[in-house]
Chains A and B, each alone.
Chain A
Amino acid sequence: MATKVHMEALSPTMEEGRLVKWTKKEGDAVKSGDTLAEVETDKAVMELVARTDGQLLKVLVQEGATVPVGNIVAWIGKPGEKVNGAGSTEQGAAAPKSTPAPTAAAPKPAARAPAPPSRPAPTAPAPVAVQPDATRVKASPLARRIAKDAGVDLKLVQGSGPGGRVVKRDVEGGAPQATAAVAAPAPRSRTPAPSGAPYEDVPLTQIRKTIAKRLAASIGPIPHFFLTSEVDMERAAEAREALNQQLGEGGGKISFNDIIIKAVALALVQHRACNAWFQDDHIRYWNEVHIGMAVAIEDGLITPVIRNADVKSLREIGAESRELASRARNRRLKPEEYTGATFSVSNLGMFDIDQFTAVINPPEAGIVAIGSIVPKAVPDGERVMVRRRMRLTMSCDHRVIDGATGAAFLKTLKQMLENPLAMLL
């Protein structure tokens, strides 16, 4: 019997893959483990390998087509064996469609729109040129009943059932309910003391749950807020010049970005409350510091991770970030190289941006956006001096980080950058 080749989940978040190129063609002999095709996932180009020996009998998907995970893309069997060519719609998913490749930065459909008020909402004008599919919602009878009662528009709900079917758990809690529990007095500090473990999970307190729910309802799934601070980079610039002189020619140069990554990592060690993941019913406070570094690539962006950045030297950080960035641009990062960051840094300084806000990469709770370093007139007592200055903007997930918590972290970061010797402490 011929064996089906499925589109596999090649990365943890992969929902569908674009078949970039078949490396075997129909009629080729294949062995288990051979690369059959290159598949572009949501993050990188990966290899789809054969799981059995035989001949590649039939290819069901054209190069360039996008296929949901689990669909059949080819058949492998004995030479001459007959196969069913129309098997690609297994699992009720749509047949492969020739859509342009999804880009890493493509906007995702809203995971769950905030529930409209329970009174009937005014009818919105029908969107022009809707696809025939777009009006049909797959939903269980129970989910329909709950949604109708709560005034939730099923079209706005992302289904978690088979084939994206909307089920009870997707609409539960979508109903506006006046049951915000009275918050129990919260302990003063929620951040546990560091231990030997890589992280600690702290269950959400009632107040934390309520903050999470209410703020999320107000602005999208992650309630962002922003903190901006201007940093004097004069001494960091001097330190960088001296270090690079010390390294001499040949050795890789230390960049401002390397210094910033190191400073962010060290500041996070002091402010563990910001080195955390929001995990639905608990907050994971990391004892390790892994910094995600946003890298622009041809059709999007990706954040390779510098692991344990707090204990690495500037030279190590420099070498690693150059190497990761270069492979990121060639889309050759492995999933483990772009997942697992505990905090991120996004730098648009080289593009002459004075200041900007970066979007948090969930489940991380914060990201620092770096503007360009520019000479500015700064008052110094009675005189005015020209100093190199840089603006930092921290985006915080308010479900994890409160204003004062973020400000305290930013203050430490500013002190480290203004006095780079502090990093040696």
Chain B
Amino acid sequence: MAQSFDVIVLGGGPAGYVCAIRCAQLGLATAVIEQEKLGGVCVNIGCIPTKALLHSAYLAHVMKESKDFGVEAGAVKTDYGVAMKRSRRVADQNSKGVEFLMKKHKITVVKGTGVLQPGKKVKVGSDVHEAKKAVVVATGSRVKGIPQIGLEINKTTVISSDEALLMERIPETLAIIGAGAVGMEFADIFSAFGVKVTLIEALPRILPIEDAESSDTLAKSYRKRGIEVIAGAKVTKATIAKDKVTLDVEAGGEKKQVVAAAVLMAAGRAVNTENIGLKECGIQLTDRGFIKVDKNLQTTAPGYYAIGDVAGPPMLAHKGSREGVIVAELLGGQKPHPIKYDNVPSVTYCHPEVASIGLTEDQCKEKKLDYVAGKFPFSANGRARGTGETEGFVKILRDKKYGEILGAHIVGAHASEMIHELAVARENEYTVEEVDLAIHAHPTMSEAVAEAALDSLGRALNI
């Protein structure tokens, strides 16, 4: 049955469903169209289930070392199937949570595949729904293979995170192509479950968008755990057999072969812009294939907005959610605080965790900024020594003249939780001095943040 709403959101992922909630809070009649489960990739086959599996990996890791802590658990056995099923329950709980939120806010959820039509209409099956105010496109992205070198995802030997998250049994050996957040996290998970992992990255270092020191710390940590890390590597050829894949790899002028039972593709994502009626509505794409938007996230067709992965990088859930809030507030007649794209935190949940905000040290150099780096290692932090999590550091890059926090990088346990102190500081233009002036409780790992701020001023206390 065709209906009329104020706002129709196409896609129920973290950008779309959050946009819908904010619209409803502002009194707009709102519908969300979703062809699969609510919550999108993030909740169902992305952020959430991987965090569940990473915790299983963490436990396996801790149990193996627990004897040193005076706790003996006997021989540690791991079962990926059990961990996977638990991660599914967690994902399903979250998806149900989103369903509940839609009901709570009286948002209509239309199940099916939506196709945009001119005149702010969306067709789902044979129904054509109409939006009085706006249509918001939040169709997200999906994993992509590299068919050019024979690595088309076949779901058995060449897999994506989608398959990895639903496996009952794991391969003995696994090659992972791409050492961004996804590749790093799966390398951590599978290695903890006893898989021999080879991590291959085309750019000169793993975690290529993070600070070089973060990449180096992780490369060292992974190698120590027996993960083979090959960076600056070009896969020239892939030979796919029934139960194994052979990769011809060139790295550092040397040629070698990597043989694994399966290959996990983690080299980027493709946005979902096909077959949703963009062209018919006059919605243009950028050269890189994202939907072209103005500073209010409106597309080239008035009344059609785009948020989340389809609206451009960084392709992160929290950036998409914030875009959803901004569009909702614009539609509700408010004046939202504009999003600062240079202040979106980036987190990789491997062990140790890597979190960052703002510029890397290399970017400061490229921009010829007059900066000072302050650094504090967790090996000098009392709390970290107590838990045995002394890997990593906090690094703060500050402007030399005014102390502005240009960038901050944390490697270590709970880095994902600690980065927000620096996100708040940057959003409000606190300098390193205000970070130090706020008293940090002792003993906490967060003390390392204050110490790094002090170190950038040349007066760290505990090192």
Interface residues of A (CB under 8 A from B): 3, 6, 8-10, 32, 50-52, 69-70, 76, 140-143, 145-146, 149, 162, 167-168
Give me 11 A-to-B residue pairs in the complex whose CB atoms sit less than 8 angstroms apart, sorted by A's number.
A6-B333, A6-B334, A8-B334, A32-B27, A50-B27, A52-B27, A69-B335, A70-B334, A70-B335, A142-B402, A142-B429
Binary per-residue interface labels of chain B (406-433) against chain A in the complex, 1 for a CB within 8 Å, 0 otherwise: 0000000000000000000000111101
Q: Which residues of A contact B404 (CB under 8 A)?
A: 142, 168
User: CB distance B29 to A32 under 8 Å?
Assistant: yes
Which chain B residues in 327-346 approach chain A with CB under 8 Å?
332-335, 337
The one of B26, B27, B431 in contact with A141, judged by C-beta atoms closer than 8 angstroms, is: B431
| Residue from B29, B334, B401 with most neighbouring chain A CB atoms (10 Å) | B334
Contacts of A69 in B (CB 8 A): 334-335
CA distance in complex: A70, B333 (Å): 8
Task: List A contacts of B28 (CB < 8 A).
Answer: 51
In the complex, whether B13 has a CB less than 8 A from a CB of chain A is: no
A141 touches B433 (CB 8 A): yes
A-contact bits for B239-279, CB 8 A (1 contact / 0 none):
00000000000000000000000000000000000000000
Residue of A nearest to B404 (CB): A142
Which residue of the partner chain, among A9, A142, A167, contacts B334 with CB atoms under 8 Å? Answer: A9
Bound Cα distance from A70 to B337, whole angstroms:
12
If the complex has contacts A9-B334, A70-B335, are A149 and B402 also in contact, measured as CB distance less than 8 A?
Answer: yes
Bound-complex Cα distance A51 to B132 (A): 13
- B residues within 8 A CB of A50? 27
Is B333's CB under 8 angstroms from A141's CB?
no
Please report the C-alpha to C-alpha distance between residue A140 and residue B333 in the assembled complex, in whole angstroms.
Answer: 27
Judge whether B434 is part of the interface by a CB distance below 8 angstroms: yes
In contact, A141 and B434 (Cβ under 8 angstroms): yes
Q: Quick one: which of B73-99 are within 8 Å of A by CB?
A: none
Residues of B contacting A10 in the complex (Cβ-Cβ under 8 angstroms): 333
Report A34 CB to chain B, min CB distance, Å: 12
Chain A residues, CB < 8 A from B431: 141-142, 145
By a CB distance below 8 angstroms, the chain A residues around B334 are 6, 8-9, 69-70
Q: Do B403 and A51 touch across chains, with their CB atoms under 8 A apart? A: no
B interface residues, Cβ below 8 angstroms from A = 26-29, 332-335, 337, 401-404, 428-431, 433-434
Pair B429/A8 contact, Cβ less than 8 Å? no
Report B383 CB to chain A, min CB distance, Å: 28
Tell me how far the C-beta of A168 lies from the nearest C-beta in chain B, rounded to whole angstroms.
6
Question: By the criterion CB–CB under 8 Å, are B27 and A140 in contact?
Answer: no
Residues of A within 8 A of B332 (CB): 6, 8, 51
Contacts of A8 in B (CB 8 A): 332-334
Task: Please measure, in the bound complex, the distance between the C-alpha atom of A50 and the C-alpha atom of B28, giving whole angstroms.
Answer: 10
User: Count the A-B residue pairs with Cβ separation under 8 angstroms: how many?
Assistant: 50
Q: Please, which residue of chain B has its CB at the minimum distance from the CB of A5?
A: B27
B428 touches A3 (CB 8 A): no
Query: Which residue, of B29, B402, B429, has the highest number of chain A Cβ atoms within 10 A?
Result: B429
Return B174 CB to nearest CB of chain A, in Å: 46
User: Which single member of B26, B27, B333, B429 contacts A143 (CB below 8 Å)?
Assistant: B429
| Contact partner, A145, options B26, B27, B335, B402, Cβ 8 Å | B402
CA distance A162 to B334 in the complex (A): 13
For the complex, give the distance between the alpha carbons of A140 and B424 in Å: 12
Which 6 residue pairs are nearest across A and B when measured between Cβ atoms? A51-B27, A8-B333, A140-B429, A142-B429, A52-B27, A145-B402
Q: How far is the CA of A145 from the CA of B434 in the complex (A)?
A: 12
Residues of the B chain whose Cβ atoms lie less than 8 Å from the Cβ of A143: 429
Chain B residues in 8 Å Cβ range of A168: 404, 429
What's the Cα separation between A256 and B162 when bound, in Å? 74
Distance in Å from the Cβ of B328 to the closest Cβ of chain A? 12
Shortest distance in angstroms between B351's beta carbon and chain A's nearest beta carbon?
Answer: 35
Given contacts A8-B334, A142-B429, A149-B401, 20 further A-B contacts (CB under 8 A): A6-B332, A6-B334, A8-B332, A32-B27, A51-B27, A51-B28, A70-B334, A70-B335, A140-B428, A140-B429, A141-B431, A141-B434, A142-B402, A142-B403, A142-B430, A142-B431, A145-B402, A149-B402, A162-B337, A167-B429
| B contact residues around A146 at 8 Å (CB) | 402
Query: In the complex, which residue of chain A has the Cβ closest to the Cβ of B329?
Result: A70
Given A6-B333, A9-B335, A69-B335 in contact, is the A141-B430 Cβ separation under 8 Å?
A: yes
Report which of A3, A149, A162, A167 forms a contact with B27, defined as CB distance below 8 A.
A3
Nearest CB of B to A68, in Å: 10
Q: Complex formed: what's the CA distance from A6 to B328 in Å? A: 14
Given contacts A6-B334, A51-B26, contact A140 B430 (CB under 8 A): yes
A10 to B26 CA separation, bound complex (whole angstroms): 16
Q: Report the nearest A residue to B334, measured CB to CB.
A: A70
Contacts of B401 on A, CB cut-off 8 Å?
149
User: Can you name the residue of chain B whose Cβ is closest to the Cβ of A146?
Assistant: B402
Residue of B nearest to A69 (CB): B335
Inter-chain CA distance A69–B330, complex, in Å, is: 12
Q: How far is the CB of A77 from chain B (nearest CB, A)?
A: 11
Complex-state Cα separation, A128 to B430, whole angstroms: 34
Alpha-carbon gap, A69 to B333, bound state (A): 9
Contacts of B26 in A (CB 8 A): 6, 51
Q: For the complex, what is the distance from the CA of A50 to the CA of B29, rounded to whole Å?
A: 12
Residues of B within 8 A of A145 (CB): 402-403, 431
Per the bound structure, the CA–CA distance linking A360 and B27 in Å amounts to: 40
A141 CA to B430 CA in the complex, in Å?
6
Q: How close is A145's CB to chain B, nearest CB, in angstroms? A: 5
Among A9, A10, A76, A145, residue most surrounded by chain B Cβ atoms (within 10 Å): A145
* Minimum distance in angstroms from B309 CB to a CB of chain A: 27
Bound: A162/B437 CA distance, A: 23
Q: How far is the CA of A3 from the CA of B404 in the complex (A)?
A: 40
Q: A411–B103 Cα gap in the complex (Å)?
A: 68
**Nearest residue, chain A, Cβ from B336:** A70
A76, B26: Cα distance in complex, Å: 12
Distance of B104 from chain A, by nearest CB (Å): 9
| Centre residue among B29, B332, B402, B433 by max chain A CB count within 10 A | B402
A162 / chain B contacts, CB cutoff of 8 Å: 337
Rounded to whole angstroms, the CA-CA distance of A70 and B332 in the bound complex is 10
| Nearest chain B CB to A402 CB, angstrom units | 31
Query: Complex formed: what's the CA distance from A372 to B263 in Å?
Result: 84
The residue on A at minimum CB distance from B29 is: A32
A9 CA to B329 CA, complexed, in Å: 11
**Least Cβ–Cβ distance between A109 and chain B, in angstroms:** 19
Chain B residues in 8 Å Cβ range of A140: 428-430
Cα(A32)–Cα(B24), bound, Å: 13
In the docked arrangement, what's the CA distance between A6 and B332, Å?
Answer: 9
Residues of B within 8 A of A51 (CB): 26-28, 332
Taken together as a complex, chains A and B put the C-alpha atoms of A32 and B428 apart, in Å, by 37
Distance between Cα atoms of A145 and B402 in the complex (Å): 6
Query: When chains A and B are docked, how far (Å) is the Cα of A149 from the Cα of B334?
Result: 35
Residue of chain B at shortest CB distance from A10: B333
A268 to chain B, nearest CB (A): 27
A51 to B, closest residue via Cβ = B27
What is the CA–CA distance of A32 and B335 in the complex, to the nearest angstrom? 21
| Distance to closest chain B CB from A22 (angstroms) | 18
Minimal beta-carbon separation of A102 from chain B (angstroms): 17
User: For residue B337, which residues in chain A have a CB less than 8 angstroms away from its CB?
Assistant: 162
Closest to B132 in A: A33
Chain A residues in 8 Å Cβ range of B402: 142, 145-146, 149
Do A141 and B429 touch (CB < 8 A)?
yes
* A162 closest partner in B (C-beta): B337
Q: With A and B bound together, what is the CA distance between A76 and B402 in angstroms? A: 48
Q: How far is the CA of A149 from the CA of B404 in the complex (A)?
A: 14
B248 to chain A, nearest CB (A): 48
